[in-house]
């Protein structure tokens, strides 16, 4: 059961990465920039939105997988809370970064991402010390 929960969040986050990759490629084509960002501010934001998601999503998914592996010691609410905050955080952060400099989407997105990391990391540490696993 827990693996299916993780699969939902992993699938959404992987599709987010794919969408950001396509959006970045499309921006490169429109701006006629083959390598790097060409000093173009819009392309810089697209590249960073994709890159930032690629930096945070894999560790989050790995943590969710480990929480699922530790079932039945893992409460389902923990996987949902961590998966939802990771997913919402990455979507909000990417949208905020694409829109421009510092804004609510970026701030709330990174706070949700950090909350998911805290839930995953703390949960894994606590679960590793339980006798039920």
- Token pair 């934001």 is found at 45
Tens of pLDDT, residue by residue over 44-53, are: 999 999 999 9
CB 53 within 8 A of CB 86: no
- Which pair of structure tokens corresponds to residue 124? 């894994």
As a whole number, mean pLDDT of residues 27-43 equals 91
Tens of pLDDT, residue by residue over 66-121, are: 999 998 889 999 999 999 999 999 999 999 999 988 899 999 999 999 999 999 99
Residue range 2-128 forms a domain whose CATH class is mainly alpha
Residues 6+ apart with CB under 8 A from 21: 50
Q: What pLDDT was estimated at residue 2?
A: 93
Q: What is the 3-state secondary structure (H, E, C) of 67-95?
A: HHHCCCCCCHHHHHHHHHHHHHHHHHHHH
């Amino acid at each position: 059961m827990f693996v299916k929960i993780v699969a939902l969040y992993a699938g959404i986050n992987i599709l987010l990465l794919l969408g950001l990759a396509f959006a970045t490629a499309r921006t490169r084509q429109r701006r006629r920039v083959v390598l790097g960002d060409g000093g173009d501010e819009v392309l810089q934001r697209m590249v960073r939105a994709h890159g930032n998601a690629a930096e945070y999503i894999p560790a989050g998914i790995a943590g969710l997988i480990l929480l699922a592996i530790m079932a039945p010691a893992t409460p389902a609410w923990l996987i949902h809370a961590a998966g939802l905050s990771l997913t919402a955080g990455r979507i909000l952060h990417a949208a905020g970064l694409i829109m421009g400099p510092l804004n609510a989407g970026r701030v709330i997105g990174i706070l949700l991402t950090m909350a998911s990391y805290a839930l995953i990391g703390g949960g894994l540490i606590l679960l590793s010390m339980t006798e039920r696993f």
